[in-house]
């Protein structure tokens, strides 16, 4: 069996993005192994099989990854939640994913998030946009788990040669719903193309891609998309008239790239310093 014939493991398959990716990648001819802690709610795509697995069960993750060429890791807590709810699926579960990848010689696409860098301020005017090698500035325990996940990929690449791509997803919805998403929106179609390009790429190494469509108002600059040949084809700009005036009115939400995640439980009297290690 050649690498292109080996199946692809998709975690978090029962979520909104997982269901979309299962359908899109199956239509592209990929054999899929789907898993989630919740049942798969749709008819199984052709050539796919589904198994209920808890990410915290290391042995089960090892078994389900057997023979897979790649793991698309979309499982775990996907929103801002308390630390104890994030800990097991997003920290321990990710370790199990990477151990499975190491054993199988598989590459990993990690669904990271813009919330790993959410406390960077939004650029204005001619201000420089963030490049992929910017400092982590997580805006929540969820964002902190995503920063940890990217560092896990760095470790497994340096120590074990496990190729991995960290996709810092902005806002992946059918359409933008507010003004912030004019900068952060990632269309379903662009995400599906990104995952397909990742699977097909000859070499990935350790890489980071900003997960956003071709949005002129983007907060983000250079990344490693050339590694996989991905170019987004959609743009949030078509929705500017519809959502351009939809802002929160919260000064913390509107100041930082992470939006409402930054404002949640925010207890500072004033803004966080612009520089990572600056004094107030």
Q: In this predicted model, what pLDDT tens digit does every residue of 1-51 receive, in sequence order?
A: 455 689 999 999 999 999 999 999 999 999 999 999 999 999 999 999 999
Q: Which of 98, 142, 148, 256 is catalytic?
A: 142
Longest dimension (CA), the chain: 60
Q: Tell me if the domain spanning 3-263 has CATH number 3.40.50.720.
A: yes
Report d(CA 14, CA 52) in Å as an integer.
10
Q: What pLDDT does residue 280 have? A: 82
Q: What pLDDT does residue 3 have? A: 56
Report d(CA 122, CA 175) in Å as an integer.
21
Separation of first and last alpha carbons in the chain? 59
Q: What pLDDT does residue 4 have? A: 60
- The answer to whether 219 is a known catalytic residue is no
Residue that has been written with the tokens 């719903």 in this structure:
177
Q: What pLDDT does residue 5 have? A: 81
Q: What pLDDT does residue 124 have? A: 86
CB of 8 closer than 8 Å to CB of 72 = yes
Q: What pLDDT does residue 2 have? A: 54
Task: Beginning with the edge strand found earlier in the chain, give each strand of the sheet holding 48-52 in spatial order.
Answer: 48-52, 32-36, 8-11, 70-73, 107-113, 164-169, 206-211
Report d(CA 134, CA 12) in Å as an integer.
28
Question: Burial code of 182-214, b = ≥16 C-beta within 10 A, e = fewer?
Answer: bbbbbbbebbbbbbbbbbebeebebbbbbbbbe
Identify the segments of the chain with pLDDT beneath 50. 1
pTM of the entire predicted model: 0.96
152-164: pLDDT as tens digits = 999 999 999 999 9
Report d(CA 132, CA 221) in Å as an integer.
7
């Amino acid at each position: 069996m050649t690498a292109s014939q080996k199946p692809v493991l998709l975690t978090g398959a029962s979520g909104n993005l997982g269901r979309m990716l299962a359908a899109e990648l199956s239509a592209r001819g990929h054999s899929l192994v789907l898993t989630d802690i919740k049942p798969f709610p749709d008819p199984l795509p052709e050539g796919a099989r589904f198994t209920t697995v808890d990410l915290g069960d290391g042995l089960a993750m090892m078994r389900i990854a057997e023979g897979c060429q790649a793991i698309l890791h979309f499982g775990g807590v996907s929103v801002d939640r308390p630390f104890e709810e994030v800990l097991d699926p997003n920290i321990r579960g990710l370790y199990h994913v990477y151990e499975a990848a190491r054993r199988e010689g598989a590459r990993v696409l990690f669904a990271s998030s813009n919330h790993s860098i959410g406390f960077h301020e939004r650029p204005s005017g001619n201000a420089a946009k963030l490049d992929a090698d910017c400092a982590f500035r997580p805006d929540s325990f969820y964002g902190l788990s995503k920063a940890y996940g990217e560092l896990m990929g760095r470790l497994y690449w340096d120590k074990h040669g496990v190729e991995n791509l960290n996709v810092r997803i902005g806002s992946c919805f059918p359409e933008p719903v507010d003004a912030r998403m004019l900068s952060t929106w990632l269309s379903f179609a662009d995400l599906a193309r990104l995952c397909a390009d990742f699977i097909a790429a000859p070499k990935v190494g350790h890489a980071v891609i900003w997960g956003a469509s071709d949005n002129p108002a983007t907060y983000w600059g250079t990344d490693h998309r050339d590694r996989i040949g991905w170019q987004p084809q959609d743009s949030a700009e078509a929705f500017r008239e519809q959502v351009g005036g939809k802002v929160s009115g919260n000064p913390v939400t509107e100041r930082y790239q992470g939006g409402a995640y930054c404002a949640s439980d925010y207890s500072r009297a004033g803004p966080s310093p612009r520089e990572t290690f600056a004094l107030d």
